[in-house]
């Protein structure tokens, strides 16, 4: 009998497990849906601020959805806030967002000292939550989620200017992203040291559709790998999630160093696995189906996904907060039945 | 040797597609110097180039960074040519207010739609992102806009679009404006359901749609 932590760890490192794990890593892809919060009373936005509230909600999510992990935090703004942007923390049903990016140009970015993310109160709360939950529930993997390097950079510099400057100001762009990456690596180390079983990186602004294959390779692949390599040094596996249609960037996906590649619902994971010479895959139950379908449909679709040789079952991307709880449990149940 | 105006328009269009701000500026000055009509130079040179760039974007030859750089080359040319447009040509423009609905931060798509609309000659007022329905309505009235364009990338926030339409009804000004919606989870069925006047799936189609809505009564 495998514990959820052993099952996930084995799966991510190529060792045997009894069945694929079913998880929701947190951050962009988190399952703090309204249905869970209304049931337990531990609610957002409060759970964005303190370790206590964050731990309670992360536990509730795990307990009520059936996902075999703790996914922390519940937003993509911890990093950007630490690096200077102002945040609107949203509401029970609407996720936090960047109110204003701190800088108008990559040329204006002021570099904060290394280790700045973990020094903020929310950075600390995430680390403390990982620590508490991994101590209290040693069999359940606590996943520390990072906002990827391009998304974080485009959350501290105005995204429209930033995207242009990837071409126009290459040297300075690289410098800024490298700075962001060093901050993320330092933060990831704290998460690892405090009990994170896995680090997950999602980088929605770095899709093939937004950047195109060349920019994706020059920036996304380079910096995602820099983080993945560093986290591997700390001895823990890495999930990399790439949003959107990946047809155009398959050769680039091949170069990613994550232990598993998570993709969106439009991607056929069976084909992707064939195309990428057996790279481990994660996914990819449609988040629209989870929101608008019914439990029966979700269950059937999950059974179909289970024939596709997917290593880790998970939502295809960021869940809507109004996703019905019974649809999520239909998904996790269908996997656990194997 | 001076270029014929058609040669110059073609080169200007190429400069936009080639993301070449310096050439776009030089050619725009050349057009003025040669006495070519500024409005026509914009239409057949700069805007044509942006239209081609939009097509390349649709065909996945260009991506967001490239399209934004084309828009910069376009804007450099516009800054030079616009002061030379006669007032009578200027009055033809239709005004659009555009924004991303409340709660939603995704603004890359809205920004692309905005720049294609501007390139096509619309007078676009950008309300930014996270815009409450009431602000769409207030600003549309204040700016005497013809079209309200709303973007939403999240199912969680798209209901704000319907609220905006209802608010227009409540204020008794629904028939003063055309409402167009777009973004990932939005569809033409949804647009119809909430009582909007149109939907488009990408920035090029958005321009077509805006043209249609501007013409319609
Ligand atoms: C990039 C991205 C981000 C970036 C956004 C950067 C920015 N400044 O815009 C960042 C990292 C900040 C981000 C954050 C989040 N994201 Co996000 N993100 C994306 C992603 C991958 C791409 C969107 C994009 O820019 N596409 C490129 C542009 C060019 O395309 P487009 O927006 O579709 O626009 C085109 C057309 O739609 C059309 N169009 C657009 N608007 C309009 C308007 C009109 C009037 C018309 C006619 C046409 C039109 O023309 C455009 C150009 O051709 C999408 C998934 C996807 N593949 O769409 C998820 C997605 C939108 N995000 C999602 C989520 C969940 C989030 C978060 C909530 C994550 C979290 N848990 O915190 C936060 C949002 C917080 C908030 N409150 O807003 C979900 C939304 C799920 C839902 N509820 O419906 C999506 C759908 C991912 C998924 N699940 O599949 N995200």
Q: Is the peptide bond before A73 cis (omega within 30 degrees of 0)?
A: yes
CA distance A306 to A269: 10
Residue where one domain finishes, among candidates B71, B89, B107: B89
Provide the number of structural domains found in chain A: 1
Q: How far apart are the first and last CA of chain B?
A: 48
Among the atoms of ligand 1, which is closest to the Cα of residue A320? Answer: 83
Ligand 1 surroundings by CB, under 6 angstroms:
A 28, 30, 75-76, 90, 94-95, 97, 151, 159, 204-205, 207, 209-210, 243-244, 264, 287, 317-318, 320; B 64, 103-110, 112-113, 149-151, 153-156, 180-185, 200, 202-203, 206, 209
Is B155 within 8 Å of A166 when comparing Cβ atoms?
no
Number of domains present in the structure of chain B: 2
Size of interface A-B (CB pairs under 8 A): 60
Q: What is the pLDDT of residue A272?
A: 93
Pair (B117, B202) in one structural domain: yes
What's CA A292's distance to the chain center, in Å?
23
pLDDT tens readout for residues A251-279: 999 999 999 999 999 999 999 999 998 89
B154: nearest Cα among A87, A302, A97:
A97
pLDDT at A1: 86
Q: Which atom of ligand 1 is nearest to the CA of B130?
A: 78
Nearest to residue A144, comparing CAs of A271, A317, A26? Answer: A26
Ligand 1 atom nearest residue A287's Cα: 89
Residue A210's pLDDT is 97
Q: Do A98 and B105 touch (CB under 8 A)?
A: yes
Q: Which residue, judged by its Cα, is nearest atom 30 of ligand 1?
A: B109
Distance between CA atoms of residues B209 and A320, nearest Å: 29
Residues B113 and B202 in one domain: yes
Q: What percentage of chain A has pLDDT greater than the value 70?
A: 100
* DSSP per residue, B101-168: BTT----HHHHHHHHHHHHTT-EEEE--SSB-HHHHHHHHHHTT-SEEEEE---TTTTHHHHHHHHHH
Q: Flag if B69 and A211 touch (Cβ within 8 Å).
A: no
Cβ contact, residue pair A160, B111, below 8 Å: yes
- 3-class state of residue A306 by DSSP: coil
Most ligand 1 atoms within 8 A of CB, residue of A243, A245, A248 to mutate: A243
Q: Domain holding A49: CATH number? A: 3.20.20.210
Burial status of residue A69 (CB atoms within 10 A of its CB: 0-12, 13-18, 19 or more): buried
- B172 lies in the same domain as B114: yes
With CA atoms as reference, report the closest residue to A283 among A330, A335, A321: A335
Q: What pLDDT is stored for residue B85 in this prediction?
A: 87
Nearest to A24 by CA among A133, A143, A148, A194: A143
> Do B44 and B101 fall within a single domain?
no
Strand bridging mode B123-126 / B95-100? parallel
Contacts of A94 in chain B (CB under 8 A): 103, 156-157
Q: Name the interface residues of B facing A (CB cutoff 8 Å).
A: 19, 60, 62-66, 68-69, 72, 103-105, 107-108, 111, 130, 154-157, 185
B100 and B72 within one domain: no
Same domain, B165 and B203: yes
A-chain residues near B185 (CB < 8 A): 288
What is the tens place of the pLDDT at every residue in A97-134?
Answer: 999 999 999 999 999 999 999 999 999 999 999 999 99
- What is the domain range of residue B85? 5-89
Contact at CB, B66 and A167, closer than 8 angstroms: yes
- Determine the distance in angstroms separating the CA of A136 from the nearest CA of chain B, rounded to an integer: 34
Q: Are residues B117 and B203 in the same domain?
A: yes
Are B82 and B102 contained in the same domain? no
Same domain for B119 and B179, yes or no, is yes
Report the pLDDT value the prediction gives residue A277, as an integer from 0 to 100. 87
> What CATH code is carried by the domain that includes residue B11?
1.10.1240.10
> Which DSSP string do the residues of A104-167 spell out, in sequence order?
SSGGGPPPPPTTHHHHSHHHHHHHHHHHHHHHH-TTSPEEEEEE-HHHHHHHHB-HHHHHHHHH
| A98 CA: distance to closest CA in chain B (Å) | 7
Predicted TM-score of the model (pTM) = 0.96
Chain A nearest CA to B114, separation (Å): 12
B74-108 residue pLDDT tens: 999 999 999 998 866 665 679 999 999 999 999 99
Nearest-CB residue to B64 (from A94, A99, A163): A163
* pLDDT tens for each residue of A50-98: 999 999 999 999 999 999 999 999 999 999 999 999 999 999 999 999 9
Residues B113 and B55 in one domain: no
User: What average pLDDT score do residues A159-188 get?
Assistant: 98
**Of the residues B37, B65, B89, which one is the last residue of a structural domain?**
B89
Alpha carbon of B36: minimum distance to chain A alpha carbons (Å): 31
Contact A32, A41 (CB under 8 A): no
B147 contacts B210 by C-beta, under 8 angstroms: yes
Instruction: Inspect the interface and report whether the beta carbons of A212 and B65 lie closer than 8 Å.
Output: yes
In this structure, the residue with its CA closest to atom 50 of ligand 1 is B202
Separation of B153 CA from ligand 1 center, angstroms? 5
Q: Tens digits of per-residue pLDDT, A221-231?
A: 999 999 999 99
Residue ranges for chain B with pLDDT beneath 50: none
pLDDT of res. B192 = 97
Nearest CA to ligand 1 atom 49: B182
Q: What residue of A is the nearest CA neighbor of B59? A: A209
CA of residue A122 relative to chain centroid, distance:
17
Q: What pLDDT does residue B92 have?
A: 65
Same domain membership, residue B201 and residue B128: yes
Contact between A248 and B66 using a beta-carbon 8 Å cutoff: no
Range of the domain at A170: 4-336
- Inspect the interface and report whether the beta carbons of A212 and B155 lie closer than 8 Å: no
| C-alpha B202 – ligand 1 centre gap (Å) | 13
pLDDT higher than 70, residue A199: yes
CATH number (domain holding residue B99): 3.40.50.280
Co-location of B177 and B109 in the same domain: yes
Which of B28, B54, B89 is where one domain is finished?
B89
Q: Report CB contact under 8 Å: B156, A210.
A: no
| Per-residue model confidence (pLDDT) at position A278 | 81
The closest residue, in CA terms, to atom 39 on ligand 1 is B183
């Amino acid at each position: 009998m495998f514990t959820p932590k052993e099952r996930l760890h084995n799966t991510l490192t190529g060792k045997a497990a009894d069945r694929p794990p079913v998880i929701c890593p947190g951050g962009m892809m988190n399952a703090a849906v309204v249905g869970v919060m209304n049931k337990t009373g531990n609610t957002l936005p409060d759970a964005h601020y303190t370790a206590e509230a964050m731990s309670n909600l992360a536990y509730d999510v795990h307990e009520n959805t059936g996902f075999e992990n703790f996914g922390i935090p519940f937003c993509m703004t911890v990093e950007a806030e630490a690096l200077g942007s102002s945040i609107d923390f949203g509401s029970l049903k609407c996720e936090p967002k960047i109110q204003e990016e701190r800088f108008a140009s990559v040329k204006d970015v002021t570099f904060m000292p290394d280790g700045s993310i973990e020094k903020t109160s929310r950075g600390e709360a995430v680390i403390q939550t990982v620590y508490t939950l991994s101590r209290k529930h040693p069999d359940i993997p606590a996943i520390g989620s990072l906002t990827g390097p391009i998304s974080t950079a485009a959350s501290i510099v105005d995204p429209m200017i930033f995207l242009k400057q990837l071409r126009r100001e290459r040297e300075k762009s690289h410098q800024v992203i490298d700075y962001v990456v060093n901050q993320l690596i330092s933060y990831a180390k704290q998460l690892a040291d405090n009990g994170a079983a896995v680090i997950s990186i999602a980088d929605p602004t770095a899709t093939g559709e937004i950047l195109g294959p060349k920019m994706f390779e020059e920036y996304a692949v380079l910096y995602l790998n820099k983080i993945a390599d560093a986290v591997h040094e700390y001895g823990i596996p890495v999930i990399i999630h790439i949003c959107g249609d990946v047809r155009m960037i398959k050769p680039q996906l091949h170069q990613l160093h994550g232990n598993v590649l998570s993709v969106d619902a439009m991607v056929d994971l069976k084909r992707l696995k064939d195309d990428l010479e057996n790279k481990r895959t994660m996914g990819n139950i449609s988040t629209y189906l989870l929101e608008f379908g019914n439990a029966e449909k979700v269950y059937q679709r999950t059974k179909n996904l289970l024939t596709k040789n997917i290593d880790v079952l998970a939502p295809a991307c960021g869940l809507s907060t109004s996703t019905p709880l019974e649809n999520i449990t239909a998904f996790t149940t269908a996997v656990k039945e194997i | 040797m001076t270029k014929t105006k058609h040669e110059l328009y073609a080169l200007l269009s190429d400069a936009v597609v080639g993301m070449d701000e310096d050439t776009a500026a030089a050619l725009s000055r050349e057009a003025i110097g040669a006495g070519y009509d500024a409005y026509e130079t914009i239409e057949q040179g700069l805007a044509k180039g942006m239209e081609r760039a939009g097509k390349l974007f649709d065909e996945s030859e260009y991506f967001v960074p490239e399209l934004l750089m084309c828009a910069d080359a376009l804007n450099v040319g516009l800054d030079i040519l616009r002061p030379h447009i006669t007032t009578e040509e200027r009055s033809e423009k239709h005004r659009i207010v555009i924004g991303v609905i409340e709660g939603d931060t995704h603004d890359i798509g809205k920004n692309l739609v905005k720049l294609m609309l501007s390139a096509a000659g619309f007078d676009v007022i950008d309300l930014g992102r996270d815009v409450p329905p009431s602000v769409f309505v207030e600003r549309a009235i204040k700016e005497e806009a013809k079209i309200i364009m709303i973007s939403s990338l999240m199912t969680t926030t798209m209901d704000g679009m319907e609220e905006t339409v209802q608010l227009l009804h409540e204020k008794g000004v629904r028939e003063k404006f055309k409402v167009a919606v777009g973004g990932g989870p939005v569809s033409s069925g949804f647009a119809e359901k909430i009582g909007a006047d149109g939907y488009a799936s990408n920035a090029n189609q958005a321009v077509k749609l805006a043209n249609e809505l501007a013409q319609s009564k």
